[in-house]
Amino acid sequence: MTQGAHRDDVVVIGAGFAGLYALHTLRGLGYRVTVVDAAADVGGVWYWNRYPGARCDVESLQYSYSFDEQLEQEWQWTERYAGQPEILRYIQHVAERFDLRRSIRFNTRVVSAEFDEVRHLWRLRTQEGLDLEASYCVMATGALSLPRLPDIPGIESFQGPVHHTGAWPAQGVDLSGLRVGVIGTGSSGIQVIPQLAQHAAHLTVFQRTANFSIPAWNRPLAPQDQAAFKSAYREHRARAREIGTLYEFSDKGAFDVTPMEREREFERRWDKGGVNFVHAFNDLSTNKAANDTIADFVRARIRRIVKDPAVAQSLCPYDHPLGTKRICVDTGYYETFIRPNVRLVDVKKTPIDRFDSSGVWVAGQHVKIDALVCATGYDALTGAVLAIDIRGRAGSRLRDKWAQGPRTLLGIMTAGFPNLFIITGAGSPSVLVNMIVGIEHHVQWITDCIEYMKASGQSTIEPSVQAEDRWVEHVNAAANRTLLPLANSWFLGANIPGKPRVFMPYAAKIGVYRRECQAVADKGYEGFVLVPKTQPLQA
């Protein structure tokens, strides 16, 4: 053992929904587990995303753990869509209820992880100088957890406060009475903008790409509705394991009905609110002409809300099919642009030239701002994994291996990096489904795998290169059957200059994917190379 290194069976990086459930499950089976997290407490993305308006767009009764029926019944959600403070309280409650904090090291950032081929274990180093060793390393690092600030010339010279939505100060930020600039109109921007507009003296929204947003129609949860849903929780959870989130899927194509019927269906779903809207017909994600009908409907809604034709035109997305960038869900987003204290700057028409100490230069004009909010997104799916210097067999670096895009088998493991598991990573449905459904599935699969390793006396497991290649092709083919690759989205890494353009999540129904994962396990981890305890690892 390295001098002073802390030794465990499993080390888990990240104390969000994934890390906590992995800890609870593995510790419950008797494994020695340590979780490390850079934050001061549990929560993961829900710890960091404290910006005003932060709210989940999966309904709260579904965006919760299913592994404990008592927890499920006792926790009372107050709103249809839970806000960040309530979700964080829920996660903290889970940590207390299952006594999880005693196995977590907070304020601890892992900087490197190296596989020791002689001792068959992972050696981790933290920024604080702590050494950890474990037979297995589980990356519960989150799909959207490495915030990205815009690289606009001069931004470092701006003298006012700059806050990224994904690293919002825990003590909050008072922007009332200030001239605020906000960059970014994805899900985070669309949530924070209406809130900022209410408090700022003036708000300038810098929009690069207009997005489609659907009203949430959030509301308090009626006790009888909550009780009714909970009385059928087992059935709901079983269905969610098949389809992700309990949307109302249609068995009709957009052109199987008359234009009037189509319009009525869009209206009905718009009035109900939320992501359910995009499932109005079964071909909207695969047939561009069908997609045009729903996109036209949303653009007409935007024009109905925003009377200024030039502003409405800028807010209307035309450069990607609806749903090919993650659909946004809002509360009063388009209405915000009617306010007299809000100005939209379409940076595709009038690009940001540069920042200076007191504001932004746009097309030769100076826009004075006192504070800047960046809702500029994340280095998604691979960013937080590759932020750690991970070295596998023969010292090979994961950053090098993934230089042309992530390569995994089932999205869970990558060849050459034995005993390293990734939760909801690239190559799994991940961000395309309810994250908690994906997380619970992965934790269970990984736990079963570790149990199998123990029972059968195995020391290491990793994918074969051939099986991994087949999986990568399979994931690409699934994306290519949809319209998803048509947008310059973070699904493809398009938001990060120089990031390889590879569609990262697996665009299959979670039920299909679960069966694929189960079949691999049932066949003794087909496609994986297992090395028994007595045998040295082959190079």
Which residues here bind ligand NAP, judged by CB under 6 A? Answer: 55-57, 144, 150, 152, 165, 183-189, 191, 206, 208-209, 326, 329, 347, 375-378, 431, 490, 495
Element (H, E) at 124: strand 121-126
Residue whose CB is less far from ligand NAP, 150 or 511: 150
Residue 236 to residue 425: CA distance in whole angstroms: 25
SS3 content of the chain, % helix, strand, coil (to 5): 35, 20, 45
Which of 33, 205 has the CB closer to ligand NAP?
A: 205
How many Å apart are CA 133 and CA 121, to the nearest integer? 7
245 vs 460 by CB, closer to ligand NAP: 245
Q: What is the number of the residue whose Cβ is closest to ligand NAP?
A: 186
Spatial contact of 331 and 197, defined as CB atoms under 8 Å apart? no
Say what angle helices 510-522 and 233-243 make with each other, to 10 degrees: 80
Question: Could you count the other beta carbons within 10 Å of the beta carbon of residue 76?
Answer: 11
Q: In angstroms, give the least distance from the CB of 209 to ligand NAP.
A: 3
CA dihedral (127, 132, 136, 140) in degrees, to 10, reads -30
Distance of closest approach, residue 33 Cβ to ligand NAP, in angstroms: 28
Nearer to ligand NAP, 31 or 81 (CB): 81
Provide the residue type at 125 as one letter. Answer: R
C-alpha 457/C-alpha 54 separation (Å) is 46
Decide if 290 contacts 281 (C-beta within 8 A): yes
Query: Which of 323, 463 has the CB closer to ligand NAP?
Result: 323
Query: Going by C-beta distance under 8 Å and a sequence separation of 6 or more, which residues neighbour residue 297?
Result: 263, 266, 270
Cβ-based nearer residue to ligand NAP, 31 or 490: 490
**C-alpha pair distances (Å), 225 with each of 152, 249, 511:** 48, 21, 27
Least distance CB 404 / ligand NAP (angstroms): 22
Read off the DSSP letter of residue 327.
P
Closest by CA to 244, choosing from 501, 430, 384, 416, is: 430
Query: At its nearest, how many Å lie between ligand NAP and the CB of residue 187?
Result: 4
How near is the Cβ of 504 to ligand NAP at its closest, in Å? 13
Q: How far is the CB of 150 from ligand NAP (least distance, A)?
A: 3
Shortest Cβ 238–ligand NAP spacing (Å): 24
- Of 144 and 384, nearer to ligand NAP (C-beta) is 144
Minimum distance from residue 201 beta carbon to ligand NAP (Å): 23
In 3D space, the residue among 106, 136, 108 whose CA is nearest the CA of residue 120 turns out to be: 136
Which residue lies nearer to ligand NAP by CB, 56 or 61? Answer: 56
Cβ 521 to ligand NAP, closest distance in Å? 29
Q: Would you say 132 or 435 has its CB closer to ligand NAP?
A: 435
Give kind and range of the element (H or E) at residue 4. Answer: none
Q: How far is the CB of 64 from ligand NAP (least distance, A)?
A: 14
In 317-376, which ranges are E strands?
328-330, 342-346, 352-356, 359-362, 365-368, 371-374
Which DSSP category does 158 fall into?
Answer: -
Query: Quick one: 377 or 485, whose CB is closer to ligand NAP?
Result: 377
